[in-house]
Chains A and B, each alone.
Chain A
Amino acid sequence: MRFGAHIRLLVTGLLLTFAVAFAVPVSAQQVNPTADAVRERQFLDALKGNPQAELQGRISIPDQKAATLERPAGRDWRAFHQGTMLRIAAIAVLGTLLALTAFYLIRGRVMNEAGPAGTTITRFNAFERFVHWLTAGCFIILTLSGLNVTFGKLVLLPLVGPQAFTNLSIVAKWAHNFLAWPFMLGVALMFVIWIKDNIPTLADLRWFAAGGGIIGKGHPEARRFNAGQKIVFWSVVLGGAALSVSGFYLLFPFYAGGVLNLQFWNVVHGIVSVLMIALMLGHIYIGSIGMEGAFDAMGSGEVDLNWAKAHHSLWVEEEMQKARAGSDNRLQPAE
C-alpha cells in the first residue's frame, strides 16, 4: 500500500490535527490551576482558524479514538454527504443517462458502415473476457449497493419500508464489502494484461481530432485500443486504484488514522465512484446499444473484420502481419 501510504501522508499533512496547546501561564510566584483552567472558548476560537480542529485529550482506555473530546469537523462531512455528494451523484448519474439518451436520439446507433464482412477476428481471448466481466459484474453490484447508501433512503425506503430496506441494505453492505476484493483483483489484472496496448501515442491525438469517428465522419485510425478506450482503461485503473485505497481504509477504519481521515477517504470514495459510474454508463452504452458490433468484442470475443477495420484499422493490420509472419495462421481469410 505504498501508494495509499503516500496519499495518507499527504492528507494528514493537510488535515493539521489540532493539538491542544493552549498556553498555560506559569509563574514562579503562583500556580493557580483554577484560574488557569483551560476553557472551551479557546477551542471554539481555534476552530475559527481551522475548522478541521479536534479537541484532543488523554484517556486511560486503549481506544485512542475516544481521546478526541470534540470534533465539529463532522459537520462539514455531513454537509458534503447530505448535500454536495447527493448533487454530484445525481448530476453525474442522471446527467450521463440523460446525455446518452439525447445522443442516442440524435445520433442513433453507430452502425457498421461497411456491413458485415462475414469473417471475424479474435479481439479478446477468454481470459481477457473473464477479467472484464469479473470486474464489470462486481462493479455493477458495487455501484448499486453503493448508490443505495447515498440514495436508498430517499428512493427505496419509502417504497419497501424500514425493515425490508434494512435487510436489503445489510445484504448490500456485505455484497459491497466482499465483492470489493474480486473487483480489485480484476482491476489489477486488467492493468497487467492491457497496459501494453494502452500506452498513449500520437495517433490518439489524431483520433481525438477526428472526434473518434462517432461525432465526425469516417473512422480515425487506431491500434488495438483507440484513445477513447484508453481513457476508459486509465480511468478504470486509476479510479479503481483510488476506490481500492479509499475503500480499504473504510473497510479497515483502524488503519486510516482518525475519523478526519476516514471522512476524507469517504469523500474520495464517493466522488470517484460517481465519476466512474458516469463513465461506465457511457462505456456500457457504446459497448451495447450505442454501437453495432461492439458487444461482440466482449461477448464472443470475435468481432466482424469490417467493424475491426473501421474502428481499429492499425490493429487489424498488425494482426494480419503477425498472422502472415507466424507459421500458425490464426486469421481465417473469408474466401
Chain B
Amino acid sequence: MLIKRKTADVQRGRLQAAIAGLSSGVMDRRAFLRRSGLVAGGVAAVGALQIGSVRKAEAAGLGPATGTKVVKNICTHCSVGCTVKAEVVNGVWVGQEPAWESPINRGSHCAKGAAVRELVHGDRRIKYPMKLVDGQWQRISWDVAINEIGDKMMQIRAKSGADSVYMLGSAKFSNEGAYLFRKFAAFWGTNNVDHQARICHSTTVAGVANTWGYGAMTNSYNDIRNSKTILFMGSNAAEAHPVSMQHILVGKEQNRANVIVFDPRLTRTAAHATDYIRIRSGTDIPVIWGMMWHIFKNGWEDKAFLAARVHGMDDVRKEVEKYDPKTVEDITGVPEAQLKRAAETFAKVKPATFIWCMGVTQHSVGTANVRAICNLLLATGNVGGMGNGANIFRGHCNVQGATDFGLDIANLPCYYGLVEGAWRHWARVWDVPYDYFVTRFDEVPAKGGRPARTRKANMETSGHTSTRWFDAANLPTEQVDQMDNLKAMFVMGHGGNTIPRMPDAVKGLEKLELLVVADPHPTNFVSLGGRKNGTYILPIGTQFECAGSRTCSNRSVQWGEKVVEPIFEAASDYFVIYKLAQKLGFAEQMHKNFEMVQGKFGPEPSAESILREINRGGWSTGYTGQSPERLKLHMEHQDKFDLVTLRGAQGSPVENDFYGLPWPCWGTPDLKHPGTHILYNTSLEAKNGGGTFRPRFGLTYERTLADGRKVSETLLAENGSYSLNSDIKDGYPEFTMGVLKKLGWDADLTPKELETITWIGGNNIDAVNWANDLSGGIQRVALKHGCVPYGNGKARANAWNLPDPVPTHREPIYSPRVDLVAKWPARPDERTLRIPNLHTSVQKAAVEKGIAKSFPIVLTSGRLVEYEGGGEETRSNKWLAELQQDMFVEINPADAAARGIKDGAFVWVSGPENNSKARVKALVTERVGKGVAFMPFHFGGFYQGQDQRGNYPKGTDPIVLGESVNVVTTYGYDPVTAMHEGKVTLCQIAAA
C-alpha cells in the first residue's frame, strides 16, 4: 500500500494562506488538538464546549492571502440568520467556509445554506428582462421594460385607480429593500402592498401584538439553551429551521429538558421529542384549552405573574371550563393522560418555551390559535424571562424585517398603522408634505350599499391581502371595496404557488392586464395559466448580490455585504424600485434623503443611507439604534458574543451589546442601547435590554358585571412589576411630552430635542410621544429614569377588539368531523379587508354536500428541508434539486393499502373545490396517521397533471417541477389577517 505524504511546500489553491505551524498536511494528535482550538489535555473540555467538527483555531486569525476576498452575508433561506462566509476570487464566488464566529449558526448550515453558492452561479437564473408577446418570450432592455411597465401602470391608474395595481413584495428583501418598496407603494398611493408574512405569521403578529404589544418572537434561538421544557406545536424546526435545532438539542441534552411535540405528523422534529402527541389538524385551541383545563383545575397557574402582569385571565378561565378532558379527546384525539402530563410539565418544569409555526398560524382561526397559546404562556408565567417565551420561528430570511417595515396592507413601516398620525410621522421622516400622499390615493365611489370613501379615508383603510389577490380580480366589482378590480400585479420575490385555490388564481391571472415578475428565477406566476401578453420578467439579483441588513426571527439585525455583482443582466432591488419611481415621476421626492451610489446599471440608493432613514423614523419598534456602523461592527466581531446570552464580551468593541441589536434598540445610535434579547424581561434595566408588557390598548378596561354594574379595571402593571431599577415602581402609560412634564422629567431634554418636539407638536406639544419624537429625546429621558418608553402595562388575556376576544374552538371550514360543526361552527359570514369572507356559507355547503364522505382524508401541508417557499430558487439549485426530485403525498399504509397504492407510485389527489386534482407520487409512511395526508408546498410547474415546463422562458425552468399542493387546497380565511387555511382541508386519493 502506498502511504501518501503531504509535503510542506505545497501549492496553495483556493486559500493561499499558508497555515503557520502546519509543516505537513498530516495531522498528528498534537497538531490536531492545537488546530481544534484546544490545548493538549483539553479533551474533556471539548465535550463541554460541544464542538462538533473540531478544527484549527488559527485560521480565524489569519488574513486571507492575496486574491481571495472573504465576504460575510446572511443565508437567504430561513429566518435563523446563519452567517455565510464567501470566498471570492476575481469577482467569482469560489468557496464557502463555515462561519464559526457567528453565535447564531457557529459554522453550521442546513442543506439550503450549504448550497447557497450555487445561487450566484445558477445557469437557470433569469438572464435579461423579457416580455411575453403572443405567448412568446422576447428579450428586451431594462429601459424598454421600465418604460413599458410604467406606461401601463399609469394607464391602469388613470382608468381603474392606484388600488388596481397590487404591489407584492418579498420577505427576501433586505430591510432596506422592504422599506423602499413600502415607501414606493405609499408614493404610488395604495395600501395594496403585502408580502409572504401574510401566509406565514400574519396571525401570529396579530395575535401576539394584541396580547402583549409586539408581534415578534420574544426570545431567541440561542436562549432555548436555557429551557427546561420545550413545546413545539405546528412547527417542524428540523426541516424548516434546521440550525435552530442545534440550540434546541443542546438545550435538551444539557438540561435534560422535556421536548413535547404536538403535531398531526411524526416529523423529523418529533423524532427527537421526549413526548410526541398526535393531534387532529385544526384543533389547536381545544388542545391548549385542554391543557389549561388541567392547569386551572390543579392550581398550576402562576398566580403572582397573573396578578401583576396579566389582565382578564378569568374570562379565559370561563371559556376553558367547557373543555373537559372528554370533550377535548373527542375533538382532538388526544387522551387525557397525555394532555395532562404535557400541561403539568409545561406549568411546572420551568422555564418552558412554546415554539410554533405554520401549523398554528395557517388556519381560519389562526389569530385565535395564537391567542390561546399566548394565554397558556401567560397563565404559566412563561413570558419575559430566560428560557421561556413565545418562540415564533419565522419562515424567510427577512420576513421579520419585511413585516417590521410594513410590507403590509395595514401598516406603515414599524407598525405605525395607517392612521393620520402615522402618515404624518413618516411624511416628516421622508420630508414630503403629508398632503402629497393624500392626493396620491383613490377616491372610492359608493358601491354595493357601502358609502363612498374620500382619498384620506382610503389612505387609512387596510388593503387587499395577498392570500386573496385573485378574488380582488375575479369578484364582481361591487363586492370589491375599492375603485375597481385588481388589474395589475407587480410581484417582486414572491411565488405564485404558496396560496390555496390555484384554479381561482389561474382565472385571476387571465384577468390581469399587467403582470410583472421581478425575481432571480421565474416563479410560478410565470408558468401558471395561459397568459399570452402583458407579462414582464425582470432579472433581480439575490441578496448575495446586494448589500443590506436583515432581521432574523429573534429580531437581531445582521448586515450582509454584497458577495458578487448581480450576475447576467440582473439588477438590485434598490435599482429597480428607483428606476420605476423615476418613470412614475416621484423618484426625486422619494430618494431625497438617500445617498445615491453608482450601481451596476446606474445610480441607486445605498443600503446604508436607507437604513439611516429607517433609524430616523423607526422609534415605535426601536429600529433607531441599529446604525449601519454598529451593525457592521457586530459582523466584524461576531466571535465576541456569548453563545447563550448573546451579550458582547467585556472589553471588546461590542461590549454589552446583544448580538445584532435585536429590536427594540431604543434611542439614537449614540445612546448605545444594547438591543433587547428577551422581550418584556423585567429583570434587566430598560436601558440594558429590559422591558415590560406594552400598554397599547388603553389604560383601563370597562367591565360590565353580571348585575349590570360597571367596573373599571387597570391595564397597567401592578403589584410591583416593573423593569429593574425603574424610577417608577408601578405600571405606567406610554411616554409623551405631557407625561414627561407631569413627572418633571422634561427638564432632562436638551434644547435641541425640545426644539424638534416643539416642531412636531406645534400647538399640542404634550401629545408628542416616544414613537413620533424624531429627536429621540423622550425615549432617552424615559430610559435615563429606568423606564420603558412605551410604558408598563399588562398583557391581555381577553383581546376585546378581536373577532374572538377569548378564543373558542371552531371546526375547520372543511372538517372531517361533520358532527362537531353544529356545536363548534365557523364564524358567520362577514366582510374583511375589502372583500367578503364566507366562513359559514362555505362550511355549511361542505357539510350539506357530504364532502367529508367523498373526500375522507385530512390534507395538511408543510416544508421540506431542501426547498423553500414556492421553491423555484431551490428547485433550480442542482445540489438541492437532486435530493427531492418528485412532488409527493405522504399517506398512511392503511389508507394506501385500502386504495391499492404502492410506495413510489403515482396517485391523484383530488380536492373538494373546482374539481381540482394533482398527480403526485405516493410516499407511504407512518409519519401521518390513518386518514391524514401531507404534501409539501414547494412545487410548481405541473398543473392538474399537465407539464408546464414549456411556459418558462427557455433555459430558466427549474430543474425539478411538480404539482403544487395548493391546486387542491381550499377556502378558509382568518377574520383578522385573511391568513389562508393551508394546514387543514379534505382530499381524496386514488391510484393513478
* Direct touch of chains A and B (CB < 8 A): yes
Q: Is the CB of B883 within 8 A of A35?
A: no
Cα(A30)–Cα(B885), bound, Å = 36
CB under 8 Å from chain B, chain A span 172-211: none
A34: chain B residues within 8 A (beta carbon): 259, 272-274
Contact A33 B270 (CB under 8 A): yes
Given known A60-B883, A61-B883, A62-B885, contact A30–B341 (CB-CB < 8 A): yes
Q: A30-B341, A60-B884, A62-B885 are in contact. Are A35 and B335 (CB under 8 A)?
A: no
> Could you tell me the distance in whole angstroms from the C-beta of B338 to the nearest C-beta in chain A?
7
Given contact pairs A28-B335, A28-B337, A33 touches B882 in the complex (Cβ within 8 A): no
Closest B-chain residue to A28, C-beta based?
B335
Q: Is A321 an interface residue (CB 8 A)?
A: no
Chain B residues near A31: list those with CB within 8 A. 273, 275-278
Cβ contact within 8 Å between A33 and B273: yes
Chain B neighbourhood of A29, CB < 8 A: 335, 337-338
Q: Which chain A residue has the least Cβ–Cβ distance from B923?
A: A58
A32 within 8 A of B: yes
> For A28, A60, A61, which residue has the most chain B Cβ atoms within 10 angstroms?
A60
CB <8 Å contact, B882 and A61: yes
Residue B133, interface by CB 8 Å? no
Distance between Cα atoms of A31 and B276 in the complex (Å): 5
Interface centre among B272, B276, B866 (most CB of A within 10 A): B276
- Residues 60-90 of A contacting B (Cβ, < 8 Å): 60-62
CB distance from B356 to the nearest CB of A (A): 19
A47 → chain B, closest Cβ, in Å? 24
Cβ of B487 to closest chain A Cβ, rounded Å: 42
Q: In the bound complex, how far is the Cα of B341 from the Cα of A121, in angstroms?
A: 98
CA distance A60 to B885 in the complex (A): 8
**B57 proximity list for chain A (CB < 8 A):** none
User: How far does the Cβ of B945 sit from chain A's closest Cβ, in whole Å?
Assistant: 21
Q: How far is the CA of A2 from the CA of B648 in the complex (A)?
A: 73
Q: Give the most central of B259, B270, B274: most A CB within 10 Å.
A: B274
Inter-subunit contact A33/B337 (CB<8 Å): no
Asked whether A30 lies within 8 Å of B271 as measured between CB atoms, the reply is no
How does the 8 Å CB contact mask read for B328-361 relative to A, with 1 for contact and 0 for none?
0000000101100100000000000000000000
Judge whether B338 and A32 touch: CB under 8 Å.
no
Complex Cα spacing A61 to B259, Å = 30
Asked whether B274 lies within 8 Å of A32 as measured between CB atoms, the reply is yes
B685-715 vs A: 1/0 string, CB under 8 Å?
A: 0000000000000000000000000000000
- A32 proximity list for chain B (CB < 8 A): 273-276
Contacts of A28 in B (CB 8 A): 335, 337-338
- What is the bound-complex CA distance between A33 and B261, given in angstroms? 10
Q: Is the CB of B271 within 8 A of A33?
A: yes
CB distance from A328 to the nearest CB of B (A): 65
Q: Give the CA-CA distance A28 to B925 in the complex, in Å.
A: 20
Most buried by B among A33, A35, A58: A33
- Bitwise, A14-39 to B at CB < 8 A (1) or not (0) is 00000000000000111111110000
**Cα–Cα, bound, A33→B277 (Å):** 11
Q: Which of B706-749 contact A (CB under 8 A)?
A: none
Residues of B within 8 A of A62 (CB): 885
A30's contact among B278, B338, B866, by CB below 8 Å, is which?
B338
Contact among A30, A33, A58, A61 for B272, CB-based, below 8 A: A33
CA gap between A73 and B341 in the complex, in Å: 45
Docked Cα-Cα span, A118 to B274, in Å, equals 96
| Contacts of B491-537 to chain A: CB distance below 8 A | none
- Within the assembled complex, what's the spacing in Å between the Cα atoms of A34 and B866? 24
> Per-residue 0/1 for B233-276: is the Cβ within 8 Å of any A Cβ (1 yes, 0 no)?
00000000000000000000000000100000010001111111
Complex alpha-carbon distance, A301 and B426, angstroms:
107
A61 to B881 Cα, complex, angstroms = 10
Q: Is the beta-carbon distance between B883 and A33 smaller than 8 angstroms? A: no
A28-B340 Cα distance, complex, nearest whole Å: 13
CA A96 – CA B425 in complex, angstroms? Answer: 102
Q: How far, in Å, is A75 (CB) from chain B's closest CB?
A: 19
Asked whether B275 lies within 8 Å of A30 as measured between CB atoms, the reply is yes
CA distance A30 to B277 in the complex (A): 8
Residues of A within 8 A of B883 (CB): 60-61
The smallest C-beta distance from A268 to any residue of chain B, in angstroms, reads: 30
CA distance A58 to B884 in the complex (A): 13
CA distance A35 to B278 in the complex (A): 17
Chain A's nearest CB lies how many Å from the CB of B773?
Answer: 52
Q: How far is the CB of B96 from chain A (nearest CB, A)?
A: 22
CB distance from A34 to the nearest CB of B (A): 5
Q: How far is the CA of A30 from the CA of B334 in the complex (A)?
A: 11
Residue in A30, A32, A58, A61 with the greatest tally of chain B CB atoms within 10 Å: A30
Give the complex CA separation of A35 and B338 in angstroms. Answer: 16
Residues of A within 8 A of B866 (CB): 60
| Cβ-closest chain A residue relative to B270 | A33
CB distance from B754 to the nearest CB of A (A): 60
User: Among residues 237 to 253 in chain A, which have CB atoms less than 8 Å away from a CB atom of chain B?
Assistant: none
Query: Given the complex, which residues of A lie within 8 Å of B341, measured CB to CB?
Result: 30
CB distance from B509 to the nearest CB of A (A): 32
A28 to chain B, nearest CB (A): 6
Mark interface residues in B262-303 (1 if CB within 8 Å of A CB, else 0): 000010001111111110000000000000000000000000
Closest Cβ of chain A to B728, distance in Å, is 47
- A contact residues around B338 at 8 Å (CB): 28-30
In the assembled complex, the Cα of A60 lies from the Cα of B278 at a distance in Å of: 24
A64 to chain B: closest residue by CB: B904
Q: How far is the CA of A33 from the CA of B884 in the complex (A)?
A: 26
| Chain A residues within an 8 Å CB radius of B884 | 60
B276, B335, B885, B925: the one within 8 Å of A33 (CB): B276
Measured in the bound complex, the distance between the Cα atoms of B265 and A33 in whole Å is: 13
Question: B273 contacts which chain A residues (CB < 8 A)?
Answer: 31-34
CA A29 – CA B341 in complex, angstroms? 9
**B277 — which chain A residues lie within 8 A by C-beta?**
31
Cα-based distance from A276 to B259 in the complex (angstroms):
64
| Closest partner residue, chain B, to A29 (CB atom) | B337
Nearest chain-A residue to B341 (Cβ)?
A30
Question: Which residues 883-902 of B sit at the A interface, judged by CB distance below 8 A?
Answer: 883-885
**A35 & B337 in contact (Cβ 8 Å cutoff):** no
| B335 to A, closest residue via Cβ | A28
Chain A residue, CB-CB nearest to B925: A58
With the chains together, A31 CA to B262 CA distance in Å?
Answer: 11
CA distance A283 to B706 in the complex (A): 112
How distant is the Cα of A28 from the Cα of B338 in the complex, in angstroms? 8
Complex CA gap A60/B272 in Å reads 20
For A61, list chain B residues within 8 Å (CB).
882-883, 885
Contacts of B276 in A (CB 8 A): 31-33
Q: What chain A residues lie within 8 Å of B882 (beta carbons)?
A: 61
Give Cα A61 to B886, complex, Å: 9
Nearest Cβ distance between residue A275 and chain B, in whole angstroms? 33
Docked complex Cα distance between A33 and B259 (Å): 10
| B271 cross-chain contacts in A, Cβ below 8 A | 33
Q: How distant is A31 from chain B, measured CB to nearest CB, in Å?
A: 4
Q: How far is the CA of A33 from the CA of B341 in the complex (A)?
A: 16
Shortest Cβ gap from B497 to chain A (Å): 20
Report Cα–Cα, A61/B884, bound state, in Å: 6
Q: Which of A32, A34, A58 has the most CB of B within 10 A?
A: A34
A90 to B883, CA, bound (A): 46
* Bound CA span A61–B885, Å: 7
A residues less than 8 Å from B274 (CB atoms)? 32-35
Output the least CB separation between B475 and chain A (Å): 41
> CA–CA, A32 to B260, complex, Å?
9
Binding site for A on B (CB under 8 A): 259, 266, 270-278, 335, 337-338, 341, 866, 882-885, 925
Known contacts A28-B337, A33-B272, A61-B882; can you find 12 more A-B pairs with CB under 8 A? A28-B335, A28-B338, A30-B275, A31-B276, A31-B277, A33-B266, A33-B270, A33-B273, A34-B259, A35-B274, A60-B884, A61-B885
Using a CB–CB cutoff of 8 Å, the interface residues on chain A facing chain B are 28-35, 58, 60-62
5 A-B pairs in the complex with CB atoms less than 8 angstroms apart = A30-B275, A33-B271, A34-B259, A34-B272, A58-B925
Shortest 4 CB-CB contacts between residues of A and residues of B: A31-B276, A34-B274, A33-B271, A33-B273
